[in-house]
Amino acid sequence: MDWSVIVMQLFTGLSLGMLYVLLALGLSIIFGLLTVVNFAHGAMFMWGAYAGVSIVAMTGNFWLALIAAPLVMGGYGLIVEKGVIRPLYGRDINYPLLLTFGLQFIMVEIIRIFWGTSDQPFTAPELLSMPVELFGVFYFPSYRLFLIGMTIAICIVLWFFLEKTNLGLIIRAGTRDALMVRALGIDMGRIWWIVFGIGAGLAGIAGVLASPITSVYPEMGIPMLVQCFVVVVVGGMGSLKGAIVAGIIMGEASALTTLFYPPMADIVIFLVMAVVLLIRPSGLFGRAGLLE
């Protein structure tokens, strides 16, 4: 097999890994601060994609969709947190999980009612539809390169936000010890609210970015959600570094198995997870004993 095929597949794996990273970051940031496992994250990803489809259908502008869909989903996240998740704080940690599990059924059915069950067409903008030549040896879809670049940019913005702003400082402190932050006079309820919105917004942007390379259909979030759980478990729940590293590993593992032994492509990430958990039960970057 030509090595350029392998390099090309590595790039494809990276672009898949980037989608995992975006979703896992949202899951992980919500979990780290709110201790809520958002089972509706896959459905929010799917809604993001449909929001993108609708905006493109209305305005014909992909770039507008890329900005507006995450905002819409972020707003939706704010409503969900205030409306149904907030009443469950202080109860057993499993209840938000169960609630979001029920919520995703509702979200999937709403899409089925208004858009039907068939695939929605979504093409990449003209500018990104041409393949580009990489290293002078192979052609790579420019949209996937854009996806990789966008994710890196989002990660940098997120890093900057968490490390260099006051709000980011509060969020990091809240992840360590929410009670202490509260004692210092900070309204953690508001912080939780904002963080849930950010997580939902990340799911929304992942949905728009994924649309041109996967098809847009009501159940598209389900396999994605399960794979992102695997990413988060492998990376270590609540660790953003873990989400990024594990997301890339899983994307590459999946892409390379697709190349060498396709029947294993769906299975390999679970095997990687089993191995990682046997060696490091708290994941690659997880803190042992966090919220068990």
Tokens at 35, concatenated: 């201790």
Smallest Cα–Cα separation from 88: which of 74, 77, 98, 78? 98
Binding of residue 33 to another protein (CB under 8 A): no
Does 51 help bind another protein (rule: CB under 8 A)?
no
The stretch near another protein (CB under 8 A) out of 15-23, 108-116, 120-128, 159-167 is: 108-116
Stretch 257-276: interaction string toward another protein, x if CB under 8 A: ------x--xx--xx-xx--
The CA-atom distances, in angstroms, between 40 and each of 101, 189, 221, 275 are 6, 20, 9, 27
Span interacting with another protein, options 15-23, 98-106, 121-129, 144-152, rule CB under 8 A: 98-106
Query: What's the rounded Cα separation, in Å, for the pair 121 and 242?
Result: 34
Amino acid identity at 88: L
With the C-alpha atoms ordered 211, 213, 215, 221, is the resulting torsion angle positive or negative?
A: negative
Using the minimum distance from each CB to another protein, give the nearer residue, 109 or 187: 109
Kindly tell me which of 127 and 271 has the beta carbon lying closer to another protein: 271
Choose, by CB under 8 A, the member of 7, 10, 84, 162 that binds another protein. Answer: 84
Among 5, 57, 98, 169, the residue binding another protein under the rule CB under 8 A is 98
Contacts of 10 (CB under 8 A, 6+ apart): 252, 255, 256
Does 57 contact another protein by CB under 8 A? no
How far apart are the C-alpha atoms of 66 and 118, rounded to whole Å?
Answer: 23
Residues that bind another protein (CB under 8 A): 31, 37, 84, 87-88, 91, 93-95, 97-99, 101-106, 108-110, 112-113, 222, 226, 229-230, 232-233, 237, 263, 266-267, 270-271, 273-274, 277-278, 281, 291-292
